[in-house]
Amino acid sequence: MNRRNLVLSALAAGFVQVAAAGPQRQEKTEWSRFFTEADARGSIVVLDARGKSETTHVYNVARAERRYSPASTFKIPHSLFALDAGLLRDEFQVIPWDGVKRSQPAWNEDQNLRSAMRNSTVWVYERFAKELGDARETAYMRKIGYGNAVATGDKPFWVDGDLAISSFEQIDFLQRLYRNQLPFQIEHQRLVKDVMINEAGPDWILRAKTGWTGKIGWWVGWVEWPSGPVFFALNMDTPNRLGDLAKRQSITRSVLRSINALPVAP
């Protein structure tokens, strides 16, 4: 074999190795039961990165590939934008309430980054959006490749406007945040991950954010284990509106427990 063929052979072998090492995708039709039992229609993507290999489990691939409004899951990147732009120094900076009474009692007081994320305080992020402006918002989204990266349409653009993202794209974004690979200061990425904590056990941490447009519900995040993270992105219809919201977490928790990615509740 001549030198050219040796090189081509080596390149081909390298390609095969890279392709083989990539994440595998498995369609989990059996997860339909979790949606059926909850009387819900939706999809879920779970990327299990525990151990040396990665496997992506998917229920309802077609829906998982479709883009939807991110709703309040956009508060994750939006917090990074606000920190990077200097609108926020840290999680302790007080964000003064404007005195306008809103439907959620927890919104009707001063906020900080931690409470705004925990309470999903819409007016805080509307204020960030006004201070950033559509051009900077768009530039930030393009910089991180977030969905279709547009700030057009009705306001807030991440709920009622044209911004849209798929479940697979949510997973990609979350992976980069987990690994501090987004184009922001590492301390800002670590801070946002800290305020995303929902609950934790002796050897695991659940970081996640809900989202709701009124018609579409989300729950996205990951569970950290000593052996690695398990990322998830659930997207579902909410025809019963508030009556459907608890299903976002209940379905996701059932799915995660079915692969031992979340402890069984005591």
Pairing status of strand 42-48 against strand 228-237: antiparallel
CA distance 115 to 182: 23
pTM score, whole prediction: 0.90
Query: Predicted confidence band at 192 (pLDDT cuts at 50, 70, 90)?
Result: very high
Catalytic residues: 72
CA distance 32 to 40: 10
117, 118, 119, 124: CA torsion to nearest 10: -20
pLDDT at 23: 58
174, 87, 153, 247: CA torsion to nearest 10: 40
* Token digits of residue 223: 């569970």
Q: Contact 230/50 with Cβ under 8 angstroms? A: yes
* Token digits of residue 28: 């989990």
Query: Predicted confidence band at 265 (pLDDT cuts at 50, 70, 90)?
Result: confident
Query: Predicted confidence band at 53 (pLDDT cuts at 50, 70, 90)?
Result: confident
Top pLDDT among 8 and 161 is at 161
Burial of 196 (C-beta count, 10 Å sphere; 0-12/13-18/19+): buried
- Closest to 72 (Cα-Cα) out of 198, 183, 217: 217
pLDDT at 2: 43
Q: Which domains does the chain have, with CATH numbers?
A: 24-258 (3.40.710.10)
Please give the C-alpha separations between residue 26 and each of 37, 172, 243, in angstroms, as whole numbers. Answer: 22, 17, 31
Q: In 10 A of CB 91, how many CB atoms?
A: 17
pLDDT at 15: 30
Element (H, E) at 124: helix 122-144
pLDDT at 6: 35
| Per-residue DSSP letter, 68 | B
Task: Report which residue type is found at 72.
Answer: S
- Closest to 80 (Cα-Cα) out of 119, 122, 136: 136
Percent of the chain with pLDDT over 90: 88
**pLDDT over threshold 90, residue 7:** no
pLDDT at 14: 36
What does 172-233 look like in DSSP terms, one character per residue? HHHHHHHTT-SSS-HHHHHHHHHHTEEEE-SS-EEEEEEEE-SSEEEEEEEEEETTEEEEEE
Mean pLDDT of 71-91: 98
Q: Which residues are 24's β-sheet partners?
A: 55
- Closest to 208 (Cα-Cα) out of 225, 220, 223, 190: 220
* Token digits of residue 181: 């690979």
Average pLDDT, the chain: 92
